[in-house]
Amino acid sequence: MTASDWRLDRIGSAHRGVNPTVVRRLDAGFAVIGDRQFLPGYSVLLTDDPAVTRLSDLSRPRRAAYLCDLERLAEAVERACAGLDPAFRRVNIEILGNTDPYLHAHIWPRYDWEPDDRVRLPVWLYEEECWRGERHALAPRHDALRSAIGQELDRLGADGAAA
């Protein structure tokens, strides 16, 4: 597998340092920025063990660590997005696992500028172009947002270490 095949093994490529979406290594997983940015700041918490397929596969201490990482990433996304877009509304958090078999959690920022027929519905109902088109693909134009999320993760990690 080459470095360009990172999407075929997101967790393994994160461990090898070749997954370009990784924002930070956390205690029980990897904070990554999503491949699709139609809702800027969309992020995912990947488990650090590809054999883990559901939250209940983890021991209680590892489960608690994963959920703490999830809360930290969600707050970092919230802070970063609120700081960059005054129309930021909230984050939605989902653990689904219907497509990718490994444990992962989605953090979806929601905004007041979203269309009225979408803003109160699950993001999965957005049109196909949002999911497949190049217009919303992760690109260098998202670097400032990615950096802001990373900086917030760092601040929150320092805050947690001091508590």
Domain count across the chain: 1
Write out the chain's pLDDT in tens, 163 residues: 455 689 899 999 999 999 999 999 999 999 999 999 999 999 999 999 999 999 999 999 999 999 999 999 999 999 999 999 999 999 999 999 888 999 999 999 999 999 988 888 899 999 999 999 899 999 999 999 999 999 999 999 977 654 4
Domain around 128: 3-162
Name the burial class of residue 126, with classes exposed (0-12), middle (13-18) and buried (19+) by CB atoms within 10 angstroms of its CB: middle
- What tokens does 22 get? 């990784």
Q: Are 153 and 72 in contact (CB under 8 A)?
A: yes
CATH of the domain at 125: 3.30.428.10
